[in-house]
Amino acid sequence: MTRFATLDLDQYRAAGGLELGRRVASGELSPVQLAECALHLASEAEPRINAYAALLTERALRDAAEREAEARAGQVRGPLHGVPIAIKDNMPYQGEPTWKGSRTTTDTPAGTSAPMVSRLLGAGAVVIGRTTTPEFGWKGTGSSPRTGITRNPWNPAWNPGGSSAGSGATVASGAVPIATGTDAGGSVRIPAAFCGVVGMKPTLGAIPVWPGTVNESLSHAGPITRSVEDAAAVFDLVRGPDPRDPQSYWSRPPASVPDRPRVGLVRAPFGIEPSGAVESVFADALALLAPVTDLHETKLPAPLPREVFEALWVTGRGLGFRHLVAEHADIMDPGLARLATLAEEYSLADYYDALARRREFNAAMSRVFTDFDLLLMPTMPITAFAAEAEVPPGGEAGAPLPWITWTPYTYPFNISGQPAISVPCGLGAGKAPAGLQIVGPWAGDDAVLAFAARCERALAAGNEATVAPRW
């Protein structure tokens, strides 16, 4: 009988997904033991943060026992064999319902898993639960009619960000080292910044997205993790085309990163100054990064493409969900339901004008990378605000899309489709996490990840833990 090493909860919370996978493969750790740790920590945090639409306790333990038997027989599926993960509840997981934060969805089990989920399962991962999202992922906060309010593990009074709200919150709580997310306007990077973890939005199409969405040309899938190493590992496991996603593609070979890459430093992206709290944390981070890179202050060459994003988002969500709004408006998020009316204000000419302006913006952003290898900037102009609020104090609550009024550093890179990653860069006032964002040229995902790893190492000396304190 194999004698597994003991692993207490704090040791588990401190470990990365790849580390746990290596220790399972070596016979040192038990997948059942890992699943039990994950489920215990998730259950312990749930009354305070509400990160899960559903914890899949019985299935997770059954799958973990199967991974354990495979490992004993020397049949390790991949680098995440036996590692607990969580999946955002807008990604189908075979045999489970996909609620998408909506009371309009059913309990019908999915017949097949989303590409990102199936590829992680193929690498041996064990899913412990489905994480919360606002209704159909329509906004950047963490509340939905189906699951209520998700909260930030650093302080449950705060918003975790969205729409990958539960994924960001559960990774930050320490329950799992890896969770899946989707990002059509910042939905991986916003919770990564607010929760103090790593969130990667790859180049559009690098990770296939299926089923498609009403804003398909903006939608990315990506990992939320506690380390860049794990984000890179997940990206390598799940990248590559799927015939069900016509945008997906074989990415080009990894790009090398110069020992001292030329990095454009953008202190106020699109001319929008960050808050004092973010500016202070970001400045401290820059001091730690100076020895590992050459930073050259610059400004982005294009204005904030807010009207372009609004046109694409409102028409996509408004028209895409108008049938649900017509039948179920009384049980839907009022902000999402309102988009059906707002979409009617756009003509076909307006839509095509937005597409033309998108191409102009993308061309301007691509020209930046004739001068720089990468761009470095804050991920968010603010830190987390109240969990119940849709906008921070003084925000534009009456805007067509209230959430994009406080996320001006994220959604532009969904318009351009460029890779971007948020890496924690420290804690500000009240122990609120802040993130730095690294943006690369189209298909420059590997360069973004390589530089993010360098930044993570440089920031380690001045960074506090990326796992929120237990209560």
Active site residues: 88, 163, 187
Distance CA 194, CA 190 (A): 6
Q: State the Cα–Cα distance between residues 82 and 87, nearest whole angstrom.
A: 15
